[in-house]
Amino acid sequence: MRLMQAALPLLLVLPTLAFAQASSPTGRWKTIDDETNKAKSIVEITQAANGTLSGRIVELIDPSKPNPACDKCKDDRKDKPITGMEIIRGMKADGASWSGGTILKPDEGKVYKSKMELVENGTKLKVSGCVAFFCKSQVWERI
């Protein structure tokens, strides 16, 4: 009986935690290349104290060479290892989506304005990179 009394608060909190994760893009995501439909990397999205989101590549899946660096980057990420690199910067909540930040495509070295939105009950994340009015999207899978 005491075990059940001790477990009850935990059972009440678990659904809340699952909902919180499903309503936020924080966590780990498997990136899926929109052209090949193959997994490329694992990105971890975190939230800063000011509420902005950032994302960092924590693992490359099947890289073309060992320990690649961003040799095409033109900013502070130039020639830095891609694994561990912050590719999403400054995303802010915008209703049910996040925008106002940027995303880097390391293999091109290009930085795009970005927006993100959770889809399929938070199990997937639609990530768009835009130049002017032209946007390209990928759908990432939560892991």
Per-residue pLDDT of 90-140, as tens digits, reads: 999 999 999 999 999 999 999 999 999 999 999 999 999 999 889 999 999
Two structure tokens written together for 73: 């980057």
Say how far apart CA 17 and CA 58 lie, in whole Å. 23
Could you please state the CATH topology (level 3) that the domain comprising 2-142 is classified under: Lipocalin (2.40.128)
Q: Residue 19 above 50 pLDDT?
A: no
Write phi, then psi, for 8 (nearest 5 degrees): -55, -50
Q: Domain segments of the chain: what residues?
A: 2-142
pLDDT of residue 20: 43
Q: Residue 15 above 90 pLDDT?
A: no
| Helices and strands (DSSP H and E) totals, the chain | 1, 8
CB 29 within 8 A of CB 43: yes
pLDDT of residue 11: 45
CB 114 within 8 A of CB 88: yes
Of 8-12, 35-39, 129-133, which range is least confident? 8-12
pLDDT of residue 17: 39
> pLDDT > 90: what percent of the chain?
78
